[in-house]
Amino acid sequence: MPGEEVSDALTAAQTLAQNGLGTVLTQLGENLTTLDEADRVREHYLGVFDQLKGRGSSIHVSVKPTQLGLDLSRDACDAHLEVLAAKAEDAGSFLWLDMEDSNYVDRTLDLFRRLRKNHPKVGVCLQSYLHRTPADLESLLPLAPAIRLVKGAYAEPPQVAFAAKKDTDRAFYELGSRLLAAAAGGGAYPIFGSHDIALVGRMVDRARELGVKDGAYEIHMLYGIRSAEQQSLVQEGRVVRTLISYGRSWFPWYMRRLAERPANVWFVLKSLAS
């Protein structure tokens, strides 16, 4: 994180833009307890989009549906997202729906489908380690969707998600290849969200094999992770965006993510060492 305030995130985004990197901003905090909190989150993001207006399309915004009251009222969450999607378009930006644990997949995809009917500049995240994701992807392809494919970081039981990294990696490549095949015909906009440089390289090679040009897909990574590799990908002609998190809820979020999946601890340690 560059800091706790949105101003810190915007300053970092401006610096990254000078080096050819786009960004995705997200405020930390989820699983609210009152709808008033969700209202405040909506107002916060409306203010963010006001600041993005006139900056071009290099900065996107990603929200978690639970930040907007999904646990409390699906109708309220849906209404908040409608407002934010319209605001994103007015600002010349883009709205992403982040994916949380497997209990939220159906509800999140339902929200996305409803948004996509009237708002082309919205996208959704899918997780390759979930067994259900190939079917979810096929169900979304008729919408010509923007999909950010990630491996997945939540602790899930083996009947829900792959336990072995090799199986998750295989699924990522297969799902990514399906997205690229659709993109070759203009039927999808794939985003590959991964710090696995070897896997990202395989997706770039697959895009080339299928005739998908560099501007027809993107690569997303976290702020401060694999920074040199992000810059190298830009220099090679790839479109790269850096996900910048900010907010005062960073400590409970960070500790929860480390506690729920030991692999997250190892990833952080390896990143610090490199």
Task: Determine, yes or no, domain membership for 175.
Answer: yes
Of the pLDDT bands very low, low, confident and very high (cuts 50, 70, 90), residue 136 is very high
Q: Which residues contact 254 (CB under 8 A, 6 or more apart)?
A: none
Specify the number of domains making up the chain.
1
Residue with the two structure tokens 């900065």: 59
- Is 260 contained in some domain? no
Provide the Cα torsion 116, 171, 149, 187; round to 10°. -50
Q: Do residues 121 and 162 make contact, with C-beta atoms less than 8 angstroms apart?
A: no
Domain that holds residue 113: 6-249
Residue 263 lies in a domain: no
Does residue 45 belong to any structural domain of this protein?
A: yes
Give the pLDDT score at 206.
98
Active-site residue, selected from the candidate residues 42, 78, 98, 238: 98
pLDDT digits (tens, 9 = 90+) for 17-44: 999 999 999 999 766 889 999 999 999 9
Q: Where are the beta strands (DSSP E) in the chain?
A: 22-27, 59-63, 95-97, 122-127, 146-150, 189-193, 218-222, 240-246
Q: Which residue, among 175, 177, 70, 189, has the nearest Cα to 122 in the 3D structure? A: 189
Give the count of beta carbons closer than 10 Å to the beta carbon of residue 267.
16
Q: Is residue 269 part of a domain?
A: no
Dist. CA 86–CA 52, nearest whole Å: 14
Is residue 148 annotated as a catalytic residue, yes or no?
yes
Q: Which residues contact 84 (CB under 8 A, 6 or more apart)?
A: 42, 45, 46, 49, 61, 63, 68, 95
Please report whether residue 136 resides in a domain. Answer: yes
Confidence of residue 163 (pLDDT cuts 50, 70, 90): very high
Model confidence at 109: pLDDT above 80 = yes
pLDDT of residue 265: 62
pLDDT tens per residue, range 34-86: 999 999 999 999 999 999 998 777 999 999 999 999 999 999 999 999 999 99
Catalytic site residue from 42, 116, 148, 238: 148
Give the pairing type, strands 122-127 and 95-97. Answer: parallel
- The continuous run of DSSP H or E covering 233 comes out as helix 227-235
Prediction pTM value: 0.92
For 63, residues 6+ apart whose C-beta sits below 8 A from its C-beta are 26, 41, 45, 81, 84, 95, 96, 97, 98
Q: With respect to residue 255, please indicate whether it lies within any of the assigned structural domains.
A: no
Q: How confident is the model at residue 250 (pLDDT cuts 50, 70, 90)?
A: low
Residue pLDDT, tens place only, 214-232: 999 999 999 988 999 999 9
Residue 238 inside a domain? The answer is: yes
Residue 223's domain is classified under what CATH number?
3.20.20.220
Question: Is residue 42 within 8 Å of residue 68, measured between CB atoms?
Answer: yes
- What was the pLDDT predicted at 3? 83
